[in-house]
Amino acid sequence: MSFGFKPYLLLLLGALCHASTVANQPNILLLFSDDAGYADFGFQGSPTHQTPHLDSIANTGVRFTRAYVSGPVCSPSRAGLLSGKYQQFFGHGNNLPNPHPMGLPLDIKLMPEYLQELGYGTYMIGKWHLGIPEPYQPQNRGFDRFFGILEGARSYHKIKNPSLGKALVENGQRFQEEAGLYVTDLFGDKAIEFLNDHFDQDPNKPFFMYLSFTAPHSPMDAKEEDIHALDHVEFESEERKINAAMTLAMDREVGRILELLKARGELDNTMVIFLNDNGGAGRSNHSSNLPLRGHKSSMFEGGVRVPMLVSWPSGGIPKGVDFDGVTSSFDLLPTFIRMAGGSLSPDWELEGRDLMPYLRGDRVGDPHATLAWRFNGYKGRKALLHRGWKYINWEGSESLFHIESDPCEKKNLAKQNPNKVDTMRTMLLAWEANAMQPLWWWNKDYERKYALPPEELSSLPIHLTDNVN
């Protein structure tokens, strides 16, 4: 691991007292994009995707070069983020079908509930995808206010008579959609509304806002003005331009929120976090994960490794640096709790680590020596990352990569290292002993439609290709 100043080029992958007595608890703004490509941000070195406001977060904080999420698709990733646990341990290992009578199990305590107990106002805007029935909705899972969608995706424009899952809702009530709306802009409007209300009504109370954009998840709906704003940029396809325009709209809303925080005098004492929910979806939304291999739903780096930024000007986090330690999205919950003046109980069985000692330079090394993944149950695809090595079991086919020297996973070393394969398989099986079979199942329509590109299909054993394309 290194921790020092680096140029923002595309990654050359090679406490406090109890909350009631804390006067300077930081605000927390957690920004989440959806199906974005690893390469598709200015701070990642993209020559086409313009993200000046997200870049400003990188310039005033830390960019993580080895950040992972706990699942390769939308719903499991969110379950891990908000619970601080491996979601496979409570049965949320697959994407939640829509509609479905269940959701993230109600006995699992979530991030906003912990922060409410520490005195925070809690707000959510955007995509939920953790349960449609009322008991599972955000306003019943720790959020004081919610505006967004309950399913995983919808049109970015007005829908006539949408289902509850695709409707825009505010604390369980349908929102009246008007002609001309654009969902990304509306999410920004509502975030500003919620924050202004918070500052006016509870000026001495810290806030936690989870702003979960749907951009740039399909459908590929971009505003004409955003498309034309990129006319001066050369794209390899019109679809890539639309993806960039959707990302531009998201970045603009981030900028509006940052400007509001600055105007209210709250920006310096706000920890701002940005990350993506899983790897870019490839042909589904024309995202790019280069130079990583794979895409959303895969166990390759392109499926689980994500861009991530953290900035907190008054919090002792250095500016404009890269952090190379192995990090997971479920580290954010324990980090927030400790930042907010709380203590961590072993009874909570959180999987994450408090990142602040690493970011402030008080601790060196990787927050995690080992991370594991599983998607679609015991017979599905799974992976284990351990001290520079990565073992992948793709529905029975085993691969081994040395990620530190081969982050693009080009050379399968399984045949040359049978003992290492045996060891890592055993470690993964021990981890799986704590996992449940999924509470619901995933079908492969996504990969049948968008699939692996030809070069990925050719790398799989023949007996698997019928299953993924």
Residue-wise pLDDT for 376-386, tens only, equals 999 899 999 99
For 391-404, give the DSSP string: EEEETTEEEEEETT
Residue-wise pLDDT for 9-18, tens only, equals 343 343 333 3
389 three-class SS: strand
Options 129, 217, 295, 386, the catalytic residue: 129
Pick one of 3.30.559.10, 3.30.70.1090, 3.30.1120.10, 1.10.3720.10 as the CATH number of 369-438. Answer: 3.30.1120.10
Q: What is the pLDDT of residue 445?
A: 58
Q: Are 100 and 152 in contact (CB under 8 A)?
A: no
**Antiparallel, parallel or unpaired: β 207-212 and 27-33:** parallel
Is 129 marked active-site?
yes
Q: What would you measure as the largest C-alpha separation in the chain, in angstroms? A: 64
Residues in the chain with pLDDT < 50? 1-22, 450-452, 454, 457-469
Q: Where are the domains positioned within the chain? A: 25-359, 369-438
Q: How far apart are CA 402 and CA 417, in angstroms?
A: 11
**How many CB atoms lie under 10 A from the CB of residue 7?**
8
Per CATH, the architecture of 25-359 is what? 3-Layer(aba) Sandwich (3.40)
pTM to 2 decimals? 0.91
Q: Are 51 and 247 in contact (CB under 8 A)?
A: yes
Q: What is the pLDDT of residue 5?
A: 32
Options 74, 217, 295, 368, the catalytic residue: 74
- Residue 164 parent element (H or E): none
Q: What is the pLDDT of residue 9?
A: 36
First CA to last CA distance, the chain: 38
3 three-class SS: strand
| Beta-strand runs (E) in 177-320 | 207-212, 270-276, 305-311
The first and second tokens of residue 359, run together, are 């970011």
Is 17 marked active-site?
no
Residue 425 burial (10 A CB sphere; 0-12, 13-18, 19+): middle
Q: What is the pLDDT of residue 98?
A: 82
